[in-house]
Structure 1
């Protein structure tokens, strides 16, 4: 028999009672269980809920009367958000929930985004929203593994269109809770940032080399949410080391592109004390949406149209100086081992001779600025290679192997060790 999964259902049960009841009934009908949390402020619901709005307010250190007395709907919902986050985290830590689902317009979505961010990666989290996929929601508000479903036709009351969206969401969160594997691994896990093979190619050599050393390797697409997932996993203790070799999404953020991973990018791994090897892969480019007009201050420079979504533009020498200083400022905050590798021959495929980004003078300016601003205990070394050359990967592995040898990084597990560990688990289970 399959153990029933429990889904935390979060919402304003005073104004969205019918919709939330519809979701809960579907989850129960399909063999799941629900734990309801009411985050209403002014109104009351006649529907039984597991966690009342009064309990949510108390978890924030106030009463509902205090919330109402805040006098502003934003301040009031911010207090309810604090309580909802605290309770959701507690329920998760106690193993009482296997997934989370919420719905709302802008107010409900605002709170749901906070709750999703507070929950760990790997726990299924779904938000049904009238503003799903909207540019109103910046990258830093999104949990790296959150799923959003557009609440089409759902602003006021149930209807055929609304029920279609809600039923899909209910099935999705329950199905995800049943099939989620979590982060169990028989080998230590390393996270690596990169772009696709057209721009950066080190993964082809790096992945098998690390696997041969007994590690599992996960590559994160550095186009916004990839970096958020990488840094979230590292800060939550799931990664033994990070190879942050592509910084284009960080670069995008500091130069004003929407294709970014939030203002904390390049800080969280170091502040968590996780060993990191960093290289400025593609840090000479800024990505903009192909479907938007190029802003005036970016016009008149070489660019590469990657597809109908992304166009990459080169940076000026002054912009590269700024990038180097911002990189150094964040990396200098690291409390864990941090080593920066400078590939002097180039940092992405389009900066090779004959390509749109070839500008060795500006690249040299960028490296000079990095050298000037990186501070101890951050270490840095150079390689004469291009970032897509085999010698660059050799330089990365040399630093990493040194860390393993000195005990800064957990050693990998060979096949024999993995088999023995698996046998031990099976024997204990028997």
Structure 2
């Protein structure tokens, strides 16, 4: 992929020809090249595109006529979404594109998420959308490295306001294609989940220790999107092992918090990736701090982490349900699993004497984990807190044993 960078410019060229042509002109004006893709159904672009709408529909195993005959715009655009995703990946694998930009309203954005999700981490992906950052966009459909910009004032036709968004987006995707340092995975990668050091601190010790053993370490902020990215990469086999020590998104999904989707805590196991598990922050459910608490979480003890994020405590019965859910997910794993159970607490606020300490709830969770850990997993109970040195020592001892046994490959 040497030489000048080529950007795939995708959209409905029958209705957005002026805007897409403007994007293309800006990219070319900055020295880039453009490969155009038409994902429209009914109309025709002013000039032929490099990839026609017929090419797109055929890549989905369908045709434009079938899309039209469906009589349903949602069905038609899903055909185009599937076809555009397959073709975009083919183009990238062939070295013909180095980044992608997609333009659209709700229909185009729906398609854009499919197209961008088909491309690996490190391929620049930019979406110019009238619903950028909207709650309409489910976290589980947003690729880990997607970039978005609001298409302000651009629903129909060019103007000075929307040109500001379009030109920024064009420059951003071309600049990203020129500057990106895509993952090389020259060193085996450990994927780890955590939160900030005020609540979970093990990564401060573990990251340098793992690096001295020849591993790279990626720590994911488990607040919905971070867990989504972690699961996506785990499912692709990007990790030699995972240290999923902040699976709180499982609790979030169960009780209406910031979910990473139903598949949280399953992709590594399905992909045969060895898992080291600990229940960091299992007892909390995160919700948007500047909104009212979800009805099911009202009236509880809460911790306002900042103006964006508030955490609500779970009671003993709910913690048992979390333990059951985690154990059910781990039972599906196809590679070794070790579960560490720190009996003195699983987040800094949960220490004895801490603001959110609940001895009864912690005991109920530990009892349920003890009963429910599946046969394919090893349970290590620890008489320490998750932020104590004894925890990281136990983790490193198991990690080293797995290296020696060939479970983890360097």
* Correspondence 1:107 to 2:107: yes
Match of 2:345 in 1: 346
Distance in 2 separating the partners of 1:309 and 1:345: 28
Match of 1:287 in 2: 286
Asked whether the 8 Å contact 2:256–2:294 carries over to 1, the reply is: no
Alignment of 1:25-424 (within 5 A): 25-257=25-257, 259-411=258-410
Distance in 1 separating the partners of 2:93 and 2:334: 27
Q: Relative to structure 2, which stretch is displaced further, 296-305 or 125-134?
A: 296-305
Aligned-partner SS, 2:279: strand
Match of 1:428 in 2: none
Distance in 1 separating the partners of 2:360 and 2:201: 23
Asked whether the 8 Å contact 2:344–2:352 carries over to 1, the reply is: no
1:365 CA drift (Å): 0.9
Q: Relative to structure 2, which stretch is displaced further, 155-164 or 238-247?
A: 238-247
- In the superposition, relative to structure 1, how do residues 185 and 61 fare at CA in structure 2: closer, same or farther (>3 Å)? closer
Asked whether the 8 Å contact 2:127–2:148 carries over to 1, the reply is: yes
Distance in 2 separating the partners of 1:144 and 1:255: 24
1:238 CA drift (Å): 2.4
Distance in 2 separating the partners of 1:312 and 1:55: 49
1:47-88 superposed Cα distances (whole Å, 9 cap, x missing partner): 221100001111111111011011111011111111111111
Aligned-partner SS, 1:281: coil
Distance in 2 separating the partners of 1:404 and 1:85: 38
1:18 CA drift (Å): 0.5
1:186 CA drift (Å): 4.1
TM-score, reference length from structure 2: 0.97
Asked whether the 8 Å contact 2:128–2:149 carries over to 1, the reply is: yes
Distance in 2 separating the partners of 1:104 and 1:319: 42
Match of 1:426 in 2: none
1:236 CA drift (Å): 2.2
Distance in 2 separating the partners of 1:82 and 1:245: 35
1:138 CA drift (Å): 1.3
Asked whether the 8 Å contact 1:140–1:263 carries over to 2, the reply is: no
TM-score, reference length from structure 1: 0.93
Structure 2 residue ranges without an equivalent (≥5): none
Distance in 1 separating the partners of 2:112 and 2:51: 16
1:23 CA drift (Å): 0.5
Q: Relative to structure 2, which stretch is displaced further, 233-242 or 160-169?
A: 233-242
Distance in 2 separating the partners of 1:198 and 1:93: 42
Asked whether the 8 Å contact 2:13–2:39 carries over to 1, the reply is: yes
Distance in 2 separating the partners of 1:140 and 1:376: 30
1:394 CA drift (Å): 0.8
Match of 1:416 in 2: none
Distance in 2 separating the partners of 1:112 and 1:285: 34
1:379 CA drift (Å): 2.1
1:23-66 superposed Cα distances (whole Å, 9 cap, x missing partner): 11111111111111100011111222110000111111111101
Alignment size in residue pairs: 409
1:295 CA drift (Å): 3.0
Aligned-partner SS, 2:192: strand
Asked whether the 8 Å contact 2:206–2:392 carries over to 1, the reply is: yes
Q: Relative to structure 2, which stretch is displaced further, 55-64 or 376-385?
A: 376-385
Distance in 1 separating the partners of 2:226 and 2:71: 39
Asked whether the 8 Å contact 1:4–1:32 carries over to 2, the reply is: yes
Distance in 1 separating the partners of 2:350 and 2:177: 44
1:276 CA drift (Å): 1.4
Aligned-partner SS, 1:381: strand
Asked whether the 8 Å contact 1:302–1:356 carries over to 2, the reply is: no
Asked whether the 8 Å contact 1:125–1:145 carries over to 2, the reply is: yes
Aligned-partner SS, 2:375: coil
1:154-204 superposed Cα distances (whole Å, 9 cap, x missing partner): 101110010000000000000001111111244222111100001001111
- RMSD of the TM alignment (CA)? 1.2
Distance in 1 separating the partners of 2:189 and 2:149: 31
Asked whether the 8 Å contact 1:303–1:356 carries over to 2, the reply is: no
Q: Relative to structure 2, which stretch is displaced further, 237-246 or 381-390?
A: 237-246
1:315 CA drift (Å): 0.3
